[in-house]
Chains A and B, each alone.
Chain A
Amino acid sequence: MPTKLLLNNEHIPGINTLQVYRNNGGYASVEKALKQMTPEAIVEEVKISGLRGRGGAGFPTGMKWSFLAKPAGVPRYLVCNADESEPGTFKDRYLMEKIPHLLVEGMITSSYALGCNTAYIYIRGEYFYVSRILENAIAEAYAAGYLGSNILGTGYNLNLYVQVGGGAYICGEETALLESLEGKRGNPRIKPPFPAIAGLYGCPTVVNNVETIAAVVPIVNNGGEAYSKIGIGKSTGTKLISASGHINKPGVYEIELGIPVEEFIYSDSYCGGIRNGKQLKAVVAGGSSVPVLPTELILKTAAGQPRLMSYESLSEGGFQTGTMLGSGGFIVMDEDTSIVKNLYTFTRFYHHESCGQCSPCREGTGWMEKIMHKILDGHGTLKDVDLLWDIQSKIEGKTICPLGEAAAWPVAAAIRHFRHEFEAYVMQPSSIKDVKHYYRLNNIEPIPA
């Protein structure tokens, strides 16, 4: 039985209410943290646990917390990033919908550790019904004395607010999120200064993903030491993976970091194999912006080692032969999938979501979408494939925020690993209904080794 720390109580009916949640050990971390621990001790525990940011970048959370500036007389803020907009990722929604109190509990404990008296949950507009669930949970927590002034008689005050965003992908970027939270246009800020120095309303701010904050609860309950024993190497603990695509059992799975990718795809306790008995073709391992990998590279690294679900193993080999764990949006594609069509969808998405602040991303994403559209219409040329490659290389690393890279990486990876498919679309546009057809027509192996 794999260890579950976040979703272990998800099956209990009524777990979204405070009463049931508390009967199953809920809010123990608040009691423990506020009554027995100092804020510094909690930060230390989080450091020991080796918890890494679950939003995508994988930055050590304890380190991020210790960077928080603490000038006297200036308020500090904790902001929970629930603007989960990465295509293929839906773990936070699941968590908030099923066990909203876990997030509220994590927010209280984390705010105490950081010395914040005001905390925000910034949730994306499309999750409007989830915001209702959260608001109910927060109201219950206020009534039970876990929020408000003088929490549990310890003299600690905390106000927690839910703010619904407009549903823009860019507002998942932490500085754009802060701008949006301040009521401005959701454009990313230029860093430095980082939010830990000047964030929300110019005050020191920590922005953490929903899952990261929820993971603080088991860390405080069981200690950082116990948490760090789960997982592998520097990838400690458990991770929620949103599995989607052509698999038998799509859904949210809590895994111990370090299980083999092959096991995750084919084991019955997880994805349960490819549906309709098809072959695996490619996997996008961490949400739409991370590089896509073909079967032979996702199951085994270039060195022949089995690839594991961990930050290190997935990124082994750099972007030449590796990818990233990202936010855990695990998109599986079977042999019938056209990577070119898939890439068109991604480029259309990034074109639609670019904020328009800096030029490479604003103009480049639209250009890439137009070229992809041209190729799919059967008017592409081989030059267009090279042009796509050139455009993505001109966007990557030249933008203010990581959205530019997020738009460039999928294009780069699709061309790097599936160039033959683009060429197929370009060379024989009239005869191709789908890519598999092209393979059969030309008597070649579906996935070249």
Chain B
Amino acid sequence: MPKVTIDGFSIDVPEGTTILQASRILATEGKMPDAHVPPAMCYYTKLKTSGGYCRTCIVKVSKGSEKDPRPMPKPVPSCRQTVMDGMEVQNLTAPDLLEARAGVVEFLLINHPLDCPICDQAGECHLQDLSYENGNAGTRYEFARRTFDMIDIGDKIKLHMNRCILCYRCVKTAEQITDGRVHGVISRGDHAEISTYIEQAIDNDFSGNVIDVCPVGALTDRTFRFKSRVWFTKPMDAHRKCDKCCGKTAVWLSGNDVLRVTARKDKFGEVEDWICNECRYDKKQIGDWTIEGPRKIERHSVISQNHYESLRQLKVDISNQKKLLEVAHVADIKQN
């Protein structure tokens, strides 16, 4: 089992694990603070061949492996670079890397409309998190941003191409979990756009999942658009008997109204299981669902404001954070 060290935190992982996966394992097991996990905008564990496009997950490899200890000359995308035994990776501990990542964030934002106040994704947007955590304040871009017309992909999905960062996740989803691909990228360079074949509707039981994989507000649910800000809704774990999918979802309530239904996402923003369109769009009555209880939302998220699942959980959260701070402190001392 290769041993990899990320920002001073070591772990043994199976052969073929990528740096990103290894750091996620570290964070999930509580051996490393979440902040040390490289951000990923285009990589998606469930989608084959995804990753490598957005370049936000770049890390610095300061030691290639035990056999070949030379550092890698360029920053590598952690989502595609597999670990080798003895590899040492720097993420937050390399200031030049953080600057490079801030550059990538700036590139992603120069053509993004920054219309968060009217965007349905605001509050659960990965690009917001990314730019807040890794970007610089302000922009140096002073030209007109590229614009596209909005497209309706069928009667349920809205494509707002201006906001798209071309992560290719929805293309891979359309390719891999729905059959009959009618969805891809046309044009080239900064005018490349996600499109369907002559605005043809995607007609498939699982097509709604492209909304869940979209890290920004480019693909939104037309049954939920402009209904409510996400942080005013109450996310609940719920399930129903569904013969197409697992039926395990998160429903977002306002009072007793089901405003929207999404798949359950883990703390890295990836869905746990795909859900079908029937669950997503058609089951909008509270009676359709068996509510399991409030959904656990990460404490850094704006959605979690005033959502205390239980006082005990809050205490556990705080003690966890304290513990991690101690671990981080020890790692710092070891490094110096």
Chain A residues within 8 Å of B, Cβ to Cβ: 168, 170, 185, 190, 351-360, 362-367, 370, 374, 387, 390, 393-394, 397-400
B189 at the interface (CB under 8 A from A): yes
> Which interface residue of B54, B55, B141, B185 has the most chain A CB atoms within 10 A?
B55
Q: Give the chain A neighbours of B103 by CB distance below 8 A.
A: 360, 390, 393-394, 398
**A360 touching B53, Cβ below 8 Å:** no
- With A356-B190, A358-B55, A359-B104: A190-B80 Cβ-Cβ less than 8 Å: yes
**A358 touching B110, Cβ below 8 Å:** no
> In whole angstroms, how far apart are the Cα atoms of A244 and B103 in the complex?
36
**A398 touching B58, Cβ below 8 Å:** yes
**A370 touching B143, Cβ below 8 Å:** yes
A356 shortest CB reach to chain B, Å: 3
> In whole angstroms, how far apart are the Cα atoms of A390 and B103 in the complex?
9
> Which interface residue of B77, B168, B190, B192 has the most chain A CB atoms within 10 A?
B190
Q: Give the chain A neighbours of B146 by CB distance below 8 A.
A: 366
- With A363-B107, A367-B141, A394-B103: A400-B52 Cβ-Cβ less than 8 Å: yes
> In whole angstroms, how far apart are the Cα atoms of A364 and B187 in the complex?
17
**A362 touching B166, Cβ below 8 Å:** yes
> In whole angstroms, how far apart are the Cα atoms of A363 and B185 in the complex?
16
> In whole angstroms, how far apart are the Cα atoms of A374 and B140 in the complex?
14
**A362 touching B185, Cβ below 8 Å:** no
Given contacts A359-B107, A374-B143, 12 further A-B contacts (CB under 8 A): A170-B188, A190-B77, A356-B166, A358-B52, A359-B104, A362-B107, A363-B111, A365-B189, A367-B141, A394-B107, A398-B75, A400-B53
**A363 touching B188, Cβ below 8 Å:** no
The contact of B190 among A185, A354, A387, by CB within 8 Å, is A354
> Which interface residue of A190, A352, A353, A397 has the most chain B CB atoms within 10 A?
A190
- With A353-B189, A363-B111: A358-B75 Cβ-Cβ less than 8 Å: no
B286 at the interface (CB under 8 A from A): no
B100 shortest CB reach to chain A, Å: 6
| B residues 46-65 in Cβ contact with A at 8 Å | 51-56, 58
B165 at the interface (CB under 8 A from A): yes
**B188 touching A355, Cβ below 8 Å:** yes
A391 shortest CB reach to chain B, Å: 8
> In whole angstroms, how far apart are the Cα atoms of A394 and B58 in the complex?
12
Q: Give the chain A neighbours of B192 by CB distance below 8 A.
A: 355-356, 362
Q: Give the chain A neighbours of B312 by CB distance below 8 A.
A: none
> Which interface residue of A367, A370, A374, A397 has the most chain B CB atoms within 10 A?
A367
* Closest 10 pairs between A and B when the two form their complex, measured CB to CB: A394-B103, A356-B192, A363-B107, A354-B189, A397-B74, A190-B52, A366-B190, A370-B143, A356-B189, A359-B107
A170 shortest CB reach to chain B, Å: 8
B220 shortest CB reach to chain A, Å: 22
B127 shortest CB reach to chain A, Å: 11
Interface size of B by CB at 8 A reads 35
Q: Give the chain A neighbours of B190 by CB distance below 8 A.
A: 351, 354, 356, 362-363, 365-366
**B140 touching A387, Cβ below 8 Å:** yes
Q: Give the chain A neighbours of B108 by CB distance below 8 A.
A: 359, 363
**B189 touching A359, Cβ below 8 Å:** no
B120 at the interface (CB under 8 A from A): no
Q: Give the chain B neighbours of A168 by CB distance below 8 A.
A: 188
- With A394-B100, A400-B52: A352-B107 Cβ-Cβ less than 8 Å: no
Of all chain A residues, the one with the shortest Cβ separation from B77 is A190
Q: Give the chain A neighbours of B67 by CB distance below 8 A.
A: none
Q: Give the chain B neighbours of A374 by CB distance below 8 A.
A: 143
> In whole angstroms, how far apart are the Cα atoms of A354 and B187 in the complex?
10
Of all chain B residues, the one with the shortest Cβ separation from A354 is B189
For this complex, 5 residue pairs linking A to B, each with C-beta atoms less than 8 Å apart, are: A190-B51, A190-B80, A358-B53, A394-B103, A397-B73
**B55 touching A356, Cβ below 8 Å:** no
> In whole angstroms, how far apart are the Cα atoms of A366 and B144 in the complex?
11
B304 shortest CB reach to chain A, Å: 29
A380 shortest CB reach to chain B, Å: 12
**A357 touching B53, Cβ below 8 Å:** yes
The contact of B188 among A356, A370, A400, by CB within 8 Å, is A356
Of all chain A residues, the one with the shortest Cβ separation from B110 is A363
**A360 touching B188, Cβ below 8 Å:** no
> In whole angstroms, how far apart are the Cα atoms of A185 and B194 in the complex?
13
**A398 touching B53, Cβ below 8 Å:** no
B191 at the interface (CB under 8 A from A): yes
> Which interface residue of A352, A355, A357 has the most chain B CB atoms within 10 A?
A357
| B residues 63-109 in Cβ contact with A at 8 Å | 73-75, 77, 80, 100, 103-104, 106-108
| B residues 140-172 in Cβ contact with A at 8 Å | 140-141, 143, 146, 165-166, 168
A369 shortest CB reach to chain B, Å: 10
**B55 touching A398, Cβ below 8 Å:** yes
Of all chain B residues, the one with the shortest Cβ separation from A387 is B140
**A185 touching B185, Cβ below 8 Å:** yes
> In whole angstroms, how far apart are the Cα atoms of A190 and B190 in the complex?
20
**A359 touching B166, Cβ below 8 Å:** yes
> In whole angstroms, how far apart are the Cα atoms of A267 and B141 in the complex?
47
A58 shortest CB reach to chain B, Å: 17
> In whole angstroms, how far apart are the Cα atoms of A398 and B72 in the complex?
13
> Which interface residue of A354, A360, A364, A365 has the most chain B CB atoms within 10 A?
A360
Q: Give the chain B neighbours of A362 by CB distance below 8 A.
A: 107, 166, 189-190, 192
> In whole angstroms, how far apart are the Cα atoms of A83 and B64 in the complex?
35
Q: Give the chain A neighbours of B107 by CB distance below 8 A.
A: 359-360, 362-364, 367, 394
Q: Give the chain B neighbours of A364 by CB distance below 8 A.
A: 107
